[in-house]
Structure 1
Amino acid sequence: MSGGINQLFTRISDCPDFGKLLLRLTLGGLLLFHGQFKVVHGVSGIAHMLTAKGLPGYIAYGAYIGEIVAPVMVIIGLMARPAAFIIAVNMVVATLLVKTGAFWHRTDVGAWSLETEAFYLLGALAIMFSGAGKYTLVRDARLQ
């Protein structure tokens, strides 16, 4: 009986390209909120953290690429793999900059303190390794 239910569910839900679209829209869409915040409030806070660690403050402007340009590219499917890589690098840098030492910490409700960062990083890697799929505004020449 369970085999039949599994086969039926697999038959009606076997839509990997739609799954890729959902992942792209979710990752890119949610990351744009972070980018929009930086457009409104600037990146001076990030620049201060960078200079405190001995790095040049102008690196903070990379947040605009990692949180606006790359997410838009992921959403529309334009060079989604390289854009996802940029998001992944952005997340590693942001995590090391803001949450160094929090790897083993948990929140007051028992959640992992880095779960949001992990979602963005692993979601970006999933897109990088699986590609955009066929539902994009910009078609990959390989898929035509």
Structure 2
Amino acid sequence: MENLGKLLLRVSVAGLMLPHGIHKLMNGIGGVKYLLGQAGMPQFLSYGVYIGEIVAPILMILGLYTRVSGLLISFTILVATAAAHAHEIFKFTEYGGLVIELNALYIFAALAVALIGPGKFRLGNQRGFWKE
């Protein structure tokens, strides 16, 4: 059951992140460049969104380099949160939830995947970065 839980977490985090990256691939990353520029961050970082929102989720779904993928997704959302929502980090919605709660959920769920590993339901039997 533990391995099924790891698979469910991996596929849900990565499967929900992937459409964000596909949208940026289809429509360009001009908005990401703009947000990074407004936040005083280098605009070349915007190309990292393809790694953090397309490559890493695909690898995570497949169970390849899962721990690294989790760290990449977490870092991508952390940068996105800092660029687009820095002024809202400690603000609440009218319903009592944090404004950035979805971002926080992505960050911590991807970190959890990085810490617990892929489980046995993965493509191949790769051992790397951290051993299970």
Distance 1:54 1:120, change over 3 A: same
Residue 141 of structure 1 deviates from its aligned partner by: 4.1
Deviation string, structure 1 residues 78-117 (Cα, Å, up to 9, x no partner)? 0100111111111110110000021221223222211111
Q: What amino acid does structure 1 have at the position aligned with 2:107?
A: L
Residue 77 of structure 1 deviates from its aligned partner by: 0.4
* Unmatched 5+ stretches in structure 2: none
Contact 2:6 2:113 (C-alpha < 8 Å) held by counterparts? yes
Structure 2 CA distance, aligned partners of 1:30 and 1:141?
Answer: 26
Deviation string, structure 1 residues 114-134 (Cα, Å, up to 9, x no partner)? 111111101111011100000
Per the normalisation by structure 2, the TM-score is 0.90
Structure 2 CA distance, aligned partners of 1:77 and 1:45?
Answer: 30
* Unmatched 5+ stretches in structure 1: 1-14
Structure 1 CA distance, aligned partners of 2:22 and 2:94?
Answer: 28
Q: What does residue 105 of structure 1 align with?
A: 91
Q: What does residue 37 of structure 1 align with?
A: 23
Per the normalisation by structure 1, the TM-score is 0.83
Corresponding position: 1:95 with 2:95: no
Q: What does residue 81 of structure 1 align with?
A: 67
Aligned residues: 129
Q: 4+ residue runs of structure 1 moved beyond 4 angstroms?
A: none
Bigger radius of gyration: 1
Distance 1:50 1:141, change over 3 A: closer
| Aligned residue runs from structure 1 range 1-144, under 5 A | 15-141=1-127
| Alignment RMSD (CA, Å) | 1.6
